[in-house]
Amino acid sequence: MRLETARLVIRQWTGGSADLARNYDIYRRDEVTRWLGMSTPLADPAQSQLVIDRRREFYAAEPGYGVWAVERRDTGAVAGSVLLKPLPTPSDGPGRGEVEIGWHFHPDSWGHGYATEAARAVLAYGWALGLAEIHAIARPDNAPSLALMRRLGMTHVGRTHRWYDMEAELYVIKKEGPDE
């Protein structure tokens, strides 16, 4: 999968040294991982290869879904990750095939609109896959992600404990059809 926007290229994470180093630098930071389902930040650069390999293996069985690198066109540096993936089986019983969009960016890339630009491209990709709606969740105190969900035009549904064993704000966006 490869998407391009005015400023970004959304692509697979590779096993190259620049991707491995940047993946480690993003996911070693508490200011990033405290918002995610990760129990602890990465502690060793070698873990980056394991994370990238695990994602590839998992999403090989889920065509169309993944966690992708978001690369700046002007510098070639990876700003962060964007994802589109099925939500796990919820804590309150069987799921309904919900799909989640999300983003994880390095602090040096915060405040530049990269997450919004990447998320809009991935939403369009999701609609092209035939999805009718896409969900996003964030911890209630993750103000930047909640603001991004609103910028994307997502609708706040309420608080939930359905996924990842955490309390989260749930937002959803539905594909707009020609009759809507």
| Domain encompassing residue 117 | 3-174
Residue 179 within a domain: no
Q: Are 114 and 126 in contact (CB under 8 A)?
A: no
Calculate the average pLDDT of the chain.
91
Residue appearing with tokens 């937002």: 171
> How many CB atoms are located within 10 Å of the residue 42 CB?
19
- Calpha distance 111→133 (Å, rounded): 27
Residue 100: what are its φ and ψ, rounded to 5°? -110, 140
Other CB atoms within 10 Å distance of the CB of residue 81: 25
How many domains does the chain fold into?
Answer: 1
* In-domain check, residue 180: no
Nearest to 66 by CA among 2, 5, 127: 2
- What pLDDT digit, counting tens, does each position of 128-180 carry? 999 999 999 999 999 999 999 999 999 999 999 888 888 999 999 999 865 44
Domain annotation covers residue 55: yes
Q: What is the CATH number of the domain that holds 115?
A: 3.40.630.30
- Assessment of whether the complete model's pTM goes beyond 0.85: yes
CA dist 35 and 156 (Å) reads 18
